[in-house]
Each structure stands twice: as structure tokens, then as C-alpha cells.
Structure 1
Amino acid sequence: MKRGAVVGIAAGAAAALIIGGSLVWWLLNRAPSAEDAARSYLNALAAGDFEAIEAMRATRLDAEAERILAESFRGAESFVADPRIEEIRSAQDTTSVRASAEIAGDRHDIVFVLAEDGAGWTLTGDYLASLEASAVLSATGELIGDSVWVSGALAPAGSDLALLPAEYRLEAAPRGLLSGTNSVALSNDEPSTVVLEASITPEAGTMAQEQIDAYAAACAQPAAAVPADCGLRVPWAADLASLTSVAFRIDKSPALVLSPDLRSFAATDGAVVATATGTTRQGSTGSFTYRADDWALRGSVSFAGDEMLLAVD
């Protein structure tokens, strides 16, 4: 009798062990719930884990919008904090989630929809935030530049940008040539519009002068004719019947000044010496030297992408 009792207890323990093992297997292999998926998305937002979010997205934007979405989020000023699920509503194969999180110190709603496709839960619907950003010149109030920096992404100004909830640093472009920064806390509870006030930086003037110096140096290369679009006037026809070549020496490069509205420039007070060689009216070879102390270059200024462009008239 005593031996049988021992055997019975052992058999019961084995049965309990088998049942417990089945429960562990079921817990490890059951499909995640909509709430699990919602928490995974919110945790990825908080961790700045773009790859995890990317794996949950059901649809894609066009290639340029995808670049902006990824680069801006990876370079975000800060990510959401203390995310909480506030409400979950399920209907057929979709689940609507209303959550909240702190973004840049303030609490914002984050709403999204999850769809069950048989393999798991995916983000669908309007889960992205909307931002329109542009820059105006503080001196005139006029729009300037065709792009803005949204954290790590150069994006078109004045366009509706689709971004993930986060805090983003906005900068006027070209960065370093135009000043003007701000930060925006974005969620998809409402669209955001930001207008940056920009002004020219000292570095921009320096770089513009360097461009003009390089352009002037290219204009002053030896040539068979006086180069066009260089502001150079060589009166060789007063002394030569025909021109064979002309050589230049720059004594002072034109000094550049940008207009207050940053739409044009004037580079003035340059000094250049030109030596023209050719055939004289008597039929011999001759060389004549001319000097100008009012050499000037003028043109337009534009800001495209992350560049400042000077176009000589």
C-alpha cells in the first residue's frame, strides 16, 4: 500500500509537468493581441526605433517622402516619452487606438489604426503627423529658399510633410548660410505649420565673395577673345585691326555686396589689367595694355536646396 501511494504521487507530478509545459508553449506561440501591437508601436516611437516601426507599416509613401520620413525621425530632437494607451476599440479586423505621450514636455494624443492581416498587426490609416514648414526673410517678410531642414532631412518648403510623432528641429536652408531655427512637437492629433524667420549669416557673405573670386579668376584666363558675362571691356579695336589673344592680370577682385532682399548682388571696384595681342592696321604684330579700376560683376541670388547660387548677368 505504501509503495502504491508513492507511485501515484509520482504519476500525478508527471501529469502536472506535461500540462505546465503545454501552457508555456501556448504562451510563447500565441499571436500578439492588438494591445500588444499598440504597445510595440508606442515603445518603438519612444525608443526612436525606425526599423521596428517600418516593419509594422502596411503601405509606403513615394521615395522622396520615405527619405524625409526616415531621415527626419532618425535625427529627431527628442522622441515621445511616457506613452500610454487611453482607449482601444475593435471592429472586425481593425482596431482603433487612442494613446497619449509627452512630446517636448507637453502631452499629446497619438491616434492610429491597426489591421490584422493573418500574419500580424500592421499600421494603417492616418497614423502620420503633418507639418508644413517654410522660411521668410526677417528683413522683408518674403519667402526665401525652396527647402528647410527637418532634423536630419532636407525637405521641400511649403509642402505637406508626413512625419512620425516626435520633436523636430527646424532650420532654414542653406544651413549655415541662412540663420533661423525653431523646434516643433509633432503628433497626428492636429497638423502643424511653422514659418521660420531667417537672415543672412556672415559666413554666407564670405562664401559668396569666394565664389565671385573664383568666377573672376576664370574670367581672367588667357583667351582668344574677350570673355562674355565677365564685365570686362577691352578697347583693343582702337589699336588693333584684329585680335589674336588677350591676357589678364587681376590687381583687385571685385568686392561683393548682397542686396537687402537677398535677390541680387553687386561686386564692384575691381582692378584688372588686360594685354591684347594682334595685328595692327599697319600689318605688324602688336601688343597693347589697358587698365580698368571699375571692374564690376552683377547678378541674381537664389537659394536652392542647401546651396546659395549666384548668377552673373
Structure 2
Amino acid sequence: MSRARWWLIGGATGLVVVAGGLWLWQSTALSSTPEHAALDYLHALESGDPDAVAATGMKVSTSALDAFDAATALIEEARVTSVREDADGASAAVDIEFVLGDAAQGGQLRLGVVDGRWSVDATGLGTVTVDSSIGSEVAIGDATMPVGKSIPLLPAIYTVAAAPATLLDGDSSVSVLPGGKTAATVDAAVRPEATAAAQDQLDDHLETCTAPATAEAEGCGIRIPWGTEFREVSGIRYRIDASPTITLTPTGFTAEGGALVATVTGTGVNGESRTTTYRTDSWTLRGDISFTADGLVLSPW
């Protein structure tokens, strides 16, 4: 047999050995002990890296990982103090200790075997319920969450802010512990930028309100006293001389001081064609306002 052939056979054998070694390493990694799996999870939390958390095999939502990326303080000095495997050999309880925000904390993680790998279950998460004095959403970094709903988050300290931050001020700090339930309230306030955005939205609404029509549009603050002068109206044309200026409260708005001209065409009470122009310098609208994660919504009455 030639030396070249012996070399090829030897090389193939080496590949088999390498492949076998790789499989053995992967198999061992996937069959780690509950203690190793718990430590992997704790170290991932200490790193502050969402990808490291996801790599542990724990089921975590994308929104929780996004929020974790914006955590303001992470757990430190984490360690496992005891491990108890259940009789089924596929579940275990691990007691842990750590420091969060300069405070010593303790807790317990439950683990199970998934696809041959020990992984921390939902006990590794805490839940947060946040209320806000204004708005239907709050934000942690780029992640948003609904007000009043229990949301699972990874253990850390977070700054929860009123949303959207471009329109609302206010935040609150919240600590999330494994298996813990936490509530927080954001005392929100309307920023000046919200008034400007609301005025732009109102002006767009008023353009729709004043399109040519045969009757006053609802929710536009328009009341034309043509009833005593017209038997029938065939058309109304508007001219906005000044838009009402909007003022916001946390839940509503008032827009005052507008100047509106309306020219009404139709049949007068005497049966003859009639055209009359009306003007008001006290055009006023009122309504509700709501804030979402993306902006604000006016709902004129």
C-alpha cells in the first residue's frame, strides 16, 4: 500500500476522532448539572448580555431581553448555596444568593431537562406591574409594556419611564427578583412637545372639518345658526382665519380662540335661493386625549 493511501486513511481516522470528540463535548455540555446550569444563568445575568441569557436555553421573550439590555443595575456576587434534584431526575431546585443594588438577596430557581439540557424555568424571571398617571404604555429603554399588566422580566434594576418619552416626562426605578412580583407607579407629566404635536393633529382634523359639505361635521365645534334663515342647505364653504389654540390636561384638551367663516348656500325660508356668510371669533373644541407608545390621539367631542 502506498504511503499516500496510508496518509489518507490516517487523515480520515483523525477526522472521525475529532468529530467524535466534538459530539462528546456537546453531549456533555447539554447534560450539565443543575448547579452548572444555574451558575451559567446567574453569570449571564451578571454580564448584562441578553444574548448570553438566551444562550442558556431559558425561554425569555424578546421584549424581556430588550428591556434587560437597558437595565440600570445588574446582580453581582451570585452563587449557588444548595441543590436538590427531584426523584424524577429531570427537575431540581437550586437555592441562590446574590447582591442587587447593594442589597443582599436570596432566592430559588427551578430547573428542568429540555432536549437533554438542564435549563432554568420561569422561576428565573420576576414580574412587574406598572401604572402610570398618563398614558397606556411605559418604556424600559426601547422596550414598551402595557400599563396595568403583569410583565415577566429578567432579574435586574430597571428605570421605567412614561411613554412616549418624546411627549411625556416621568420615571420610576424598580427591582426585579427571581420569582418576585413587583409593582411601580410612574408619575407622568405632559411635555411641551406634546402640546405642539397635539396642535398639529388638531390642525389636520380642522382641515377635514372644514371641507365643503351640506351639514356641520360632528366633533368640530361648528354650530351655524342657519335654521331661522334657511329652509334647506345645499352647500357650506369654510375659511379658517385662525385655528383654535390647544391646551392639554392629562386626559383631555381644550382648543379656544379660533376664527371661522362659513358661507351657506341653499333655499331661504321664503323659498328663494339664499347665500349667507357667518363668522365666529370664538371657535372652540373640546375632547379627550390618549397617549400610546408611539404618540398621542385626540378624540374631539
Which category describes the TM-score, using the shorter chain as reference length? Answer: 0.7 to 0.9
- Whole-angstrom CA distance in 2 between matches of 1:82 and 1:118: 30
> Unaligned 5+ residue runs, structure 1?
1-20, 61-65, 137-143
In the alignment, is residue 209 of structure 1 matched against residue 199 of structure 2? yes
Q: How does 1:137-148 map to 2 (within 5 A)?
A: 144-148=134-138
- Whole-angstrom CA distance in 1 between matches of 2:72 and 2:180: 20
Partner of 2:36: 36
> Unaligned 5+ residue runs, structure 2?
1-16
- Higher alpha-carbon deviation: 48-57 or 272-281: 48-57
- Whole-angstrom CA distance in 2 between matches of 1:117 and 1:231: 62
- Whole-angstrom CA distance in 2 between matches of 1:189 and 1:121: 18
Partner of 2:11: none
State the 1:221 CA deviation: 1.4
Q: How does 1:117-266 map to 2 (within 5 A)?
A: 119-124=116-121, 126-136=123-133, 144-188=134-178, 190-259=180-249, 262-266=250-254
Q: Which amino acid aligns with 1:42?
A: L
Alignment size in residue pairs: 278
DSSP 3-state at the match of 1:70: helix
Q: How high is the sequence identity, in percent, across the aligned residues?
A: 31
**Partners of 2:124 and 2:179 within 8 A in 1:** no
Partner of 2:262: 274
Give the CA RMSD over aligned residues.
Answer: 3.1
State the 1:166 CA deviation: 1.7
CA shift in 2, pair 1:176/1:117, >3 Å:
closer
Q: Which amino acid aligns with 1:178?
A: L
Q: Which amino acid aligns with 1:293?
A: D
CA shift in 2, pair 1:59/1:67, >3 Å:
closer
Kindly provide the CA deviation profile for residues 233-272 of structure 1, in whole angstroms up to 9, marking residues without a partner as x.
223445444322111111111112224xx23322111101
Structure 1 length-normalised TM? 0.75
- Whole-angstrom CA distance in 2 between matches of 1:183 and 1:38: 27
Structure 2 length-normalised TM? 0.78
Kindly provide the CA deviation profile for residues 77-131 of structure 1, in whole angstroms up to 9, marking residues without a partner as x.
3433343223333333233222233334444335312223571212236221122
- Whole-angstrom CA distance in 1 between matches of 2:142 and 2:269: 65
DSSP 3-state at the match of 1:289: strand
Partner of 1:114: 111
Kindly provide the CA deviation profile for residues 31-83 of structure 1, in whole angstroms up to 9, marking residues without a partner as x.
422222222212222234445544655768xxxxx354333224333433343
Partner of 1:287: 275
Q: Which amino acid aligns with 2:221?
A: G
In the alignment, is residue 87 of structure 1 matched against residue 75 of structure 2? no
State the 1:302 CA deviation: 3.1
CA shift in 2, pair 1:229/1:113, >3 Å:
closer
- Whole-angstrom CA distance in 1 between matches of 2:21 and 2:223: 89
Bigger Cα Rg: 1
Q: Which amino acid aligns with 1:89?
A: R
Kindly provide the CA deviation profile for residues 182-241 of structure 1, in whole angstroms up to 9, marking residues without a partner as x.
222321264322122222211122222222222122111122333232111223445444
- Whole-angstrom CA distance in 2 between matches of 1:130 and 1:185: 10
